[in-house]
Amino acid sequence: MPRRKIAAGNWKMNKNYDDALQLIRDISATNPPKEIHTVLAVPSIYLKNGVDMLMHIIGLDVAAQNCHQEPSGAYTGEISASMLSSISVPYVVIGHSERREYFHENSQQLASKVDVALSNGLQVIFCCGESLDIRKSGNHVPHVCKQIRESLFHLSDDQWSNVIIAYEPIWAIGTGETASPEQAQEMHQALRTMIANEKSSNIAENVSILYGGSVKPANAKDIFTGEDVDGALVGGASLNADGFKEIMDALARS
What DSSP line would sit under 84-116, residue for residue? Answer: HHHTT--EEEE--HHHHHHS---HHHHHHHHHH
Among the listed residues 96, 105, 130, 140, the single catalytic one is 96
Q: What confidence category does residue 1 fall into, taking pLDDT thresholds of 50, 70 and 90?
A: low
Section 102-106 average pLDDT: 97
Residue 2 pLDDT level (bands cut at 50, 70, 90): confident
Establish whether 96 is a catalytic residue.
yes
* 82-94 pLDDT per residue, tens: 999 999 999 999 9
Query: Which homologous superfamily does the CATH classification assign to the domain defined by 6-253?
Result: Aldolase class I (3.20.20.70)
Which residue out of 98, 105, 130, 168 is catalytically annotated?
168
Instruction: For residue 156, give the amino acid letter.
Output: S
104 is catalytic: no
Q: Quick one: which of 151, 156, 146, 240 has its CA closest to 199?
A: 156
Count other Cβ atoms within 10 Å, centred on residue 76.
Answer: 5
Q: How confident is the model at residue 96 (pLDDT cuts 50, 70, 90)?
A: very high
**For residues 192, 249, 59 and 83, what is the CA-based torsion angle, rounded to 10 degrees?**
70
Helix axes 181-198, 140-152, angle to 10 degrees: 40
pLDDT tens sequence across 184-235: 999 999 999 999 999 999 999 999 999 998 899 999 999 999 999 999 999 9
